[in-house]
Amino acid sequence: MTKIQIPYGSIQIDLDIEAEQLDIEEGSRNENNTKDSTVVRQALRNPIGTKQLREIVKMKEQGRIVIVVDDQTRAAPTEKMLDGLTEEIGEEHRDRITLLVACGTHEAPAEADLQRILGKYFDYYNIKIHDCDARDLVHVGTTKRGTPVLLNRDYVDACVKILTGDITLHYYAGFGGGRKSILPGISSREAIKRNHALLVDEHAVTANIKTNPVHLDMSEAASFAPPDFVLNTIADSYGNLVDAYAGELSSVFLKGAGVAEDMFCLETDGLFDVLIVSTGGFPKDRNLYQATKAIQNCYTALVPGGKLILVAECRDGIGDRYFEEWMDKYRSFESAEAAIKTDFVLGGHKAYYMRKTMERVRLSIVSELDSNTLTRWGLSPYTSVAEAIEGEIGYSKLDDAGAGIKNKLKIGILRNGLDTLLVPG
Q: Which tens digits make up the pLDDT trace of 314-347?
A: 999 999 999 999 999 999 999 999 999 888 888 9
Mean pLDDT of the chain: 91
Paired strand residues for 232: 165, 245
Whether residue 313 contacts residue 39, with contact meaning beta carbons closer than 8 Å, is answered with no
Q: Which tens digits make up the pLDDT trace of 205-221?
A: 999 999 999 999 999 99
Whether residue 299 contacts residue 361, with contact meaning beta carbons closer than 8 Å, is answered with yes
The DSSP H or E segment spanning 277 is: strand 272-278
User: Using CA atoms, how far apart are residues 59 and 16, in angstroms rounded to an integer?
Assistant: 60
Q: Which tens digits make up the pLDDT trace of 368-399?
A: 999 999 999 999 999 999 999 999 998 444 34
Cβ count within 10 A of residue 301:
25
Q: Which tens digits make up the pLDDT trace of 223-232?
A: 999 999 999 9
User: Using CA atoms, how far apart are residues 151 and 227, in angstroms rounded to an integer?
Assistant: 12
User: Using CA atoms, how far apart are residues 265 and 177, in angstroms rounded to an integer?
Assistant: 17
Q: Which domains does the chain have, with CATH numbers?
A: 2-26+269-424 (3.90.226.30), 34-263 (3.40.50.11440)
Q: How far is CA 174 from CA 178, 206, 327, 386, in A?
A: 12, 4, 25, 34
For residue 9, the number of C-alpha atoms closer than 13 Å in the C-beta half-sphere is 13
Cα-Cα end-to-end distance for the chain: 25
Tell me what pLDDT residue 237 has.
66
Closest CA to 366 of 270, 273, 291: 291
User: Using CA atoms, how far apart are residues 229 and 56, in angstroms rounded to an integer?
Assistant: 9
Query: Residue 179: pLDDT above 50?
Result: yes
Percent of all residues in the chain with a pLDDT value above 70, rounded to a whole number: 93
Closest CA to 385 of 343, 419, 415: 415
Percent of all residues in the chain with a pLDDT value above 90, rounded to a whole number: 81
Judging by beta carbons within 10 Å of its beta carbon (0-12, 13-18, 19+), is residue 174 exposed, middle or buried? buried
- How do beta strands 160-166 and 265-268 pair? unpaired
Q: Is residue 101 helix, strand or coil? A: strand
Cβ count within 10 A of residue 342:
7
Strand ranges, E, within 371-420: 380-382, 411-414
29: pLDDT confidence band, cut at 50, 70 and 90? Answer: very low
Tell me what pLDDT residue 185 has.
97
Q: Which tens digits make up the pLDDT trace of 279-324?
A: 999 989 999 999 999 999 999 999 999 999 999 999 999 999 999 9
Paired strand residues for 209: none
Query: Residue 45: pLDDT above 60?
Result: yes
Tell me what pLDDT residue 35 has.
60
Q: Which tens digits make up the pLDDT trace of 70-124?
A: 998 887 889 999 999 999 999 999 999 999 999 999 889 999 999 999 999 999 9
Please say whether the dihedral angle defined by the alpha carbons of residues 104, 108, 111 and 113, taken in this order, is positive or negative. negative
358 backbone dihedrals φ, ψ, rounded to 5°: -70, -15
User: Using CA atoms, how far apart are residues 185 and 179, in angstroms rounded to an integer?
Assistant: 9
